[in-house]
Chain A
Amino acid sequence: MKFSLNWIREFVDINVPVDELAERLTLSGLEVEGVETLGASLSGIVVGRIESIEKHPDADKLVVCQVTDGKTRHQIVTGAQNIKEGDVVPVSLPGAVLANGMEIKASELRGVPSNGMLCSETELGVSDEAAGIWILPQDTPLGVDFVEYARLRDAVLDIGILPNRGDCQSVLGIARDISAIYELDLKEVEILDSRSGSGMTAGGSGMTASEKSITCRNEAPDLCAMYTARTISNVWQFATPLWMQRRLQVSGVRPISFIVDVTNYVLLELGQPLHAFDASKVKGAIVVRSAEDGEALVTLDEQERKLVAGQCVIADDAGAVALAGVMGGARTEINDHTTDVVLEAAWFDPVATRATATAHVLRTDSAVRFEKGLDIAGVERASNRVAHLIKSLAGAEVGDICQASGHTKDSDASSFDGKIDVDLNALNRLIGVQYTADQAWGTLRRLGYGVAVGVDSRSGSGMTAGSGITVVGSVTAAGSEIVDHSSEMFACVTVPTWRRHDVLGWQEVAEDIMRVVGMDSIASCLPRESVVQVSKSDDERVLSQLHSFFIANGFSQVINFSMVGQEDAVKCDWKTTDSRTISNPLTPAESVMRERILPSLLRVVGHDASRQVNRGAIFEFGSVFPSDGVQDTHLAGVVYGDWFESSYRPEDKLAGADVLRLKGIVCAALEALGVIQIRVDKRCDDGDLHPGQAGTIASLKHALGRFGKVHPARLKAYGISVPVSYFEINVSSVLKSVRPQPKYKAFGVLPHTRRDIAIVVPKDLAYSSIESVLYKKKPKLCKRLFLFDRFESVEHLGADKLSLAFAFVYQDDETTLTDEVVNLAHTEFVAAITAALPIEIR
C-alpha cells in the first residue's frame, strides 16, 4: 500500500530522512518495498490566470498568452490546445525547475519573447501522461507557491502490510507505529462532534432526530456488529480540493467526485470503508439483514448477483441496496446530480464478509479490509470525519448519526475483553532480553495499549508487597517461581480496540514490544539445553549410502513432481481414484498423484531424447501413491539407449545383457546395505514390462520391487525409440530388510574340495527355481555353490534346452575331507536334484 509521507506527518512530527525512516519501518514489521520521492526538484511554480490568448504571428500551432500571477503580467508562448481565457493554471517562470530537473529560461519562440511556461501535470510530476495544460479550479489563489499549495513535494512509501495488521492499512495506523518507534506524540484528526447534536441511539433500532435524517435497523446482529448511517445534504457539485485529489492520486486512488473522493480519503486516512447512497433513491428506512435465498441485487459493476441466505445485505423498503462490506448497489448509486447522500459506516463480520466476497468473486478493497478485522470503535469516528470534511469544505448539512449495533461472533473476540496479564520477566525470558518496565510499558502505551502496572486482570489491584494477607500471584512455567503481581514488572494491559482480533495473548504483546524496540538489540546465542537426537538416523544413513551407490555406478539423480497427468495414468494403465486426484490442478499434466515413479522417469527420458540425449542412467527417490494403500517412498531408475554397451572396445559391447547388468547393480546396492538373501523371481505380471525380461526382487520377508525391460508399448506411448531397462524398489521395505549389524562367525580353514557338474535343463525353467532346489538339497558339507557356465546349442542340446555348469565347494570345519566322504555326499546330492528337477546330468 502506498502512503504519502506528508499525510503521515499530519499525525506525527517525523523529520528523519525518508530512507532512514523506510529502513526503521522495515525492521519494525512494516516492510517498505519502495520509496518514491515526488517533486523533489520542483521550484518556482506559481498559480496564474490567462488574461488573453492571441495567435502567434509566425506560427500556426503556437499562441501568445498574457498571464497574471495577481501582481505581474507575463507573456508566455505555448502550443497548448486546451486553454481558454480566464483559465487558472500553474505557471513556471524563468528560474523555475520542473519535475524532470529542467530549468525554465526566458526565451523567444519564432521571434516572440516567452517568459515562462504553462505546465501540465506531467511537467509537475503528478502523472506520467497529460492531455494538456493542468487547468486548476477557479478559486485557486493567484500567485501562491503552487508546489506548496497543491502539496506536490512528497515521498510515497510503498508498504507491505502483514495479514494481522489491518490497523496499518491507514495513514493513522502507520503514523501510530512511527510515533511508538520514535517516541513521538500522535495527533488526533479533526472530526465532527456528533455528540453535540441530538438523536444518538444504540441497540437494535434507530430513531429519527432531525428532518433530513435516516433511520436504520439491524436485523442481522451476528453479521454486523455496528451499523451507522447519517444523511449529508446539499452537497452541490463541489469540486474536490487539489490537495485531496493529490493525496488520493499518490495513494493510488483515482479522484472521481467529491463525495466519493472524501469517503476514499477517510478510508485511506483511518482505514474504515465507507459507502454513500444517493439519499433520494433510498426508500424508507435502512435495514441490515441476511439476504433471502434467490434474492437479486445489481451491484455497482452492473452485475446481477444472486444472493443466498447468510450473506449480509443493506436494504431499504424496496429491497437490497448493497452487498454489505463488499459492494454497493446500482439502484442507489450516486451521480453528478446527487445532492443528498446517506453515509454508511459499519463493522461487518470478517468471516461472513470474506465468505460473501469469495462466493461472488468480488475481493474488493472494502471486503479485504473487513476480512482483516477493523476497529469497531473507529466506525463512528470515520463517519464523523467524513461529516467534518464535507461540512467544512463544501458547507453541506450533516444529519445526526443513527446507530444500530449487533455483536461480534468471533469466538476469540467475544469472550475477550482486551485485558491481558503480562509478566515482564516471563516475556524477557521468551525473547532472551532484559527490557525494563519503563521501556516495555512505555512502548505499549504509545501503541495505544492501556497499561495498569502492578495489577492483574482478576483483582484490579495487586498485593502491596509485604502485606502478607492475600497473595495475588501465579506460578510460572518453570513451576517454581511465584510471580508478584504488584511488582513493576507485572501489568494488566488493555489491548487497543484496533488490535483485538490479533493480540490475544501475552506473546503477541511481547512481539509488539520486540518489533518496536528492534530485533537487532537481541543478543543471539545457540540453544542452551542439551542436544537430543530423536530420529531414525540409521535410515538416513542407509538411504544416503543407497544414493551414493547409484551415483558411483554412473547413475544421475533426477527429482520430479509427485504428480503426473491423467494421460500418464492411461498410458501406464492404472486406475485413478478420488483420493489420488487433484480437484483443482493447474494443468492436466500435473493432476494425479503418481502410483509409481516409472512414468516420471519415462517423461525425463522422452525429454532427453527430444534433445538428442539418447543414452543415460538416471534414478529418483520419491513419493508414490498407490490407489489402494498408503503413500510410500520408492527408489526407481532407468538405463536407456546403449548406455551399458557404450564402450570403444569390442570386448565390452555385450549387447542384450543389460537387464542382467541392471539386476547386478540393484542386487549389489542391496547387498551393500546389508540386505541378505535377496531373491529374484522371473515372473512379473504387469503391462509396464517386457513379459520375457522382467522379474521381482524380494528379501527373506519382504517384496522389494521389480525390474526388467520396459514394455515396447509403454515406450511407444512416451515417444521413446531406444530400449529402456528399469527397476523400482520400495525403500521402506528395503529398510526393513537391512540386517541390523554383521556378526563375525569363524570360517573353515581346512582345505576344501570342489566338484563341478553340468546339467541340461529346459529353457523355460527359471534359474531361480533350479537354484532354490540346489540350496534346499545341498548337503551340510557343501559350503558354497555357484554358476560358472551357461551354454546354449541347438546342435547339441536342441532348441528348448540349455546347459548350466555349477561348482560345489565341500569343506568341513573340523577335519580334512577325504575323497570318499566328498564323493558320497556329492553323489547323494546329484541324485536328489535329479529327482527333484526335470534335468539331466551331462
Chain B
Amino acid sequence: MISRLEELKSKCETALQNADTVSGIEDVRISYLGKKGVLTDILKGLKDLSNEEKASVGQAANQIKTQITDAIDAKRHALERDEMNAKLVSDTVDVSAPGVGRGSGASHPLHRMEKLIVECLGRIGFSTVSGPEIETEFNNFEALNIPASHPARDMHDTFYMKDGGVLRTHTSPVQIRAMQTMAPPLRILAPGKVFRCDADVSHSPVFHQIEGLLVDKHVSFAELKGTLEFFLRSLFGDSKKVRFRPSYFPFTVPSCEVDLECVMCKGKGCGICKQTGWLEVMGAGMVHRNVFKAVGYDPEEVTGFAFGLGVDRLAMLYYQISDIRLLYENDARFISQFKGAA
C-alpha cells in the first residue's frame, strides 16, 4: 500500500513536470486530488483497512497528499509568474515619449508681482479691498483733498466719461470707499488698474497700482518708514538700501518718496537709475486731516499712513522686463516665460 502511494507520488511529479500551462496543472490536480482523483480514491479506501494499517497508511497518504498539493501550487505559481512576465514584456510603453496633455499655463507677470506684494504685506496684517474703475470725481479727487481748482489735478491726466464719471487715476478712491464703510482701525491694500491719459514709450495709459492704508490711534511716520523698509527688503533683499525723500501729495502730510537702491547696478549708477544709484519706487505719507474729514473720521482721534506703488514698474525691475508695452501685448511668447511658483 505504502509503495503504491510512493509510486503515485512519483507519477504525479512526472505529470507536473510535463504540464506547461496553468490548465495542464489543473488537469493534474483533478486527476490526483479531484473528487474522483486517484489519491482521493485511496483515501476513501482507508476505511476498509484494519486499525493498525489505517494509522500507518493514513499518515503516509496524508503526507503524500500534502506533498502533491504543495508541488502543484509551486508549479502553478511558477507558471503564473512566467505568464505575467511574458505579458509585461509584450506590454511596454516608451515612457520617454511626450506625456499626453497640454502642460501648465503661465501667470501674467503683473499678476505674479501683485501677488508677491499682497502676500508680503499680508504677513504684517494688510488685507485687500477692491473698488470700481469708473469713479466719481468726489472719490477720485475731492475726498482726497484735490479740489477742482487744484493744480495737482494736472498731475493726473484724467480720462473722463461722457456722463462725467472719471476713470480712476489711482486706487486711492478704493481707500475712500473702505473708510466710508468701515470704522478704524484699518489695515488695507487696494490693488488694481488705474488710468492716465498720457502715453509714450515709457508710459501706458493703463497701469496697475497698489495702495496701502493703515489707520489707528497714534500711528507715526516712523512706522510708515519701518513698514516700507520691511516690504522693499522682503521683495528685493535684506541688504538693499532704502531712502526716504520729502515730497508732496495733496492727500498726505508729511509726504515722502521712497527710493530703492538700484537693483541693476547695486547703487553704482547705470542707465536704469539715470546714474543716480537710486530707483524711485513708491510715494507715501501721513494721511491728510482733510481726507479723514471727508470720510467722517476724526483727525483728532486717529492718524494713519498711506503709500502707493506702480506694480508695472516694480514688475519690470523684478523680472527685468525692458519694455512696458510687453506687459499689455499679451504675446504668447512673452507670457509663457512666466511659469512656476515664484
Residues of A within 8 A of B (CB): 26-29, 31, 162-165, 350-351, 354-355, 371-372, 429-433, 477-479, 505, 507-508, 510-511, 514-515, 519-520, 522-529, 531-535, 537, 540, 544, 547, 550-563, 577-586, 590, 593, 604, 607-608, 611, 613, 616-619, 623, 625, 630-631, 633, 643-644, 646-649, 652
Contact = CB atoms under 8 A, between A and B. Distances in A.
Given A511-B253, A586-B199, A581 B151 contact: no
B188 interface: yes
Given A163-B151, A163-B248, A581-B162, A526 B102 contact: no
Contacts of A633: 130
Nearest to A32: B276
B52 interface: no
Contact of B220 (A429, A479, A616, A646): A429
A522 B225 contact: yes
B223 A525 contact: yes
A581 B134 CA distance: 11
A551 B100 contact: no
Which of B134, B185, B333 gathers the greatest number of chain A CB atoms within 10 Å? B134
Contacts of B218: 429, 477-478, 528-529
B89 interface: no
Contact of B221 (A522, A618, A647): A522
A522 B162 contact: no
A90 B134 CA distance: 64
B-side interface mostly: mixed
Contacts of A556: 105-108, 332, 335-336
A582 B160 contact: yes
A648 to B, nearest CB: 7
Interface stretch (B10-18, B76-84, B120-128): B120-128
Interface stretch (B41-49, B55-63, B322-330): B322-330
A582 B167 contact: yes
A525 B97 CA distance: 56
A555 B188 contact: no
Contact of A523 (B128, B152, B167, B222): B222
A578 B206 contact: no
22 contacts: A163-B248, A432-B221, A433-B222, A507-B289, A514-B246, A526-B124, A527-B223, A528-B223, A529-B216, A531-B125, A532-B185, A534-B182, A534-B187, A535-B128, A556-B108, A556-B336, A557-B107, A557-B108, A561-B205, A577-B163, A618-B332, A631-B134
B342 interface: no
A593 B244 CA distance: 38
Contacts of B331: 607-608, 611, 613
A526 B165 contact: no
B247 A29 contact: yes
Interface stretch (B1-9, B24-32, B226-234, B260-268): B226-234
Interface string B305-342: 00000000000000000000001111111011000000
Nearest to B158: A584
A222 to B, nearest CB: 14
Contacts of A585: 159, 197
A526 B162 contact: no
B170 interface: no
A371 B329 CA distance: 40
B239 interface: no
B149 interface: yes
B217 A430 contact: no
A527 B219 contact: yes
Contacts of B288: 507
B188 A534 contact: yes
Given A477-B300, A526-B230, A584 B197 contact: yes
B254 interface: yes
B205 A586 contact: yes
B105 A527 contact: no
Nearest to B303: A430
Nearest to B192: A623
A527 B245 CA distance: 20
Contacts of A511: 246, 253-255
A36 to B, nearest CB: 13
A534 to B, nearest CB: 6
A525 B226 contact: yes
B124 A582 contact: no
Nearest to A651: B100
B301 interface: yes
Contacts of A631: 132-134
Given A514-B221, A519-B244, A559-B330, A531 B187 contact: yes
Nearest to A579: B163
Given A540-B128, A584-B159, 5 more contacts: A507-B288, A558-B330, A562-B195, A590-B205, A608-B332
Contacts of B226: 524-527
Contacts of A613: 331-333
A508 B329 CA distance: 43
Interface of B: 97-98, 100-108, 110-111, 115, 124-125, 127-130, 132-134, 149, 151-152, 155, 159-163, 165, 167, 178, 182, 185-188, 193, 195, 197, 199, 205-206, 214, 216-223, 225-227, 229-230, 243-248, 253-256, 286, 288-289, 300-303, 327-333, 335-336
A634 to B, nearest CB: 13
A584 B160 contact: yes
A515 B246 contact: yes
Contacts of B217: 477-478, 529
Nearest to B336: A556
B111 to A, nearest CB: 6
B12 to A, nearest CB: 42
Contacts of B289: 505, 507
Interface centre among A558, A583, A623 (most CB of B within 10 A): A558
Contacts of B301: 477, 479
A561 B206 contact: yes
Contacts of B115: 544
A514 B227 contact: no
Contacts of B97: 648
A525 to B, nearest CB: 4
A562 B206 contact: yes
Contacts of A553: 102, 105
A717 to B, nearest CB: 19
A623 B151 CA distance: 30
Contacts of A478: 217-218
A207 to B, nearest CB: 35
The 6 closest A-B pairs by CB, nearest first: A432-B222, A531-B125, A29-B246, A432-B220, A554-B102, A511-B254
B107 A582 contact: no
Contact of A550 (B105, B160, B333): B105
Contacts of B160: 582-584
A590 B256 CA distance: 33
A535 B105 contact: no
A619 B108 CA distance: 10
Contacts of B302: 477
Given A554-B104, A556-B336, A560-B330, A623 B197 contact: no
A175 B227 CA distance: 34
Nearest to B114: A559
Contacts of A604: 330
A546 to B, nearest CB: 12
Which of B187, B197, B227 has the most C-beta atoms of chain A within 10 angstroms of its own C-beta? B187
A618 B133 CA distance: 23
Contacts of A529: 185, 216-219
A533 B133 contact: no
B105 A617 contact: yes
Nearest to B134: A631
Given A535-B188, A559-B330, A613-B333, A527 B103 contact: no
B330 to A, nearest CB: 4
B205 to A, nearest CB: 6
Nearest to A31: B245
A560 B134 CA distance: 16
Contact of A558 (B98, B108, B185): B108
A33 to B, nearest CB: 8
